[in-house]
Amino acid sequence: MSDHTAAPATTAHTHAGRYLVVWAALTALTALTWGLSTIHIPGFGGVAVALAIATVKGTLVALFFMHLWDQPGPNRLVLITSLVFVALLVTLPLLDNATRFPLANPPDAETAPQRIRDAILNDAPPPAHP
């Protein structure tokens, strides 16, 4: 990995074979995730599997098509840092919606209790709290 840092450019190396293998892998993984989606894995499992496959595909693209495999630290660090902040922005608001006072979520959201949803949709005060 680090043996190229002295000559960070992709000069004079031929990567054609590598590209072909990566392309084949990406195609296979696309077919796999498509196939798996037809089985309908229940609950969170389906999401996890699909996202895991997408992550593998993305990693292949970033490492080989985008040459992060051969390139010096800063470029890798840039991508990794940005991914940390992607995770941050996706998880914390989601955690908020998952843990907040249920009535503070949109009234027809599936997380709100049914009777409260009805009450708010009908523009009436909700029933007394238990």
- Under rule CB under 8 A, residue 122 binds other proteins: no
The single residue among 14, 42, 114, 122 that binds other proteins, judged by CB under 8 A, is 14
CA distance 118 to 3: 65
- Under rule CB under 8 A, residue 115 binds other proteins: no
Q: Give the residue with the Cβ less far from other proteins, 1 or 54.
A: 54
22-81 residues in contact with other proteins (CB under 8 A) are 22-23, 26-27, 30, 33-34, 37, 46-47, 50-51, 53-54, 57-58, 61-62, 64-67, 71-72, 74-75, 78-79, 81
Q: In sequence order, what are the residues at sequence separation of 6 or more whose Cβ sits closer than 8 angstroms to the Cβ of residue 125?
A: 119
Q: Using CA atoms in the order 100, 106, 112, 114, what is the torsion angle rounded to 10 degrees?
A: 160
* Beta carbons within 10 angstroms of residue 91's beta carbon: 10
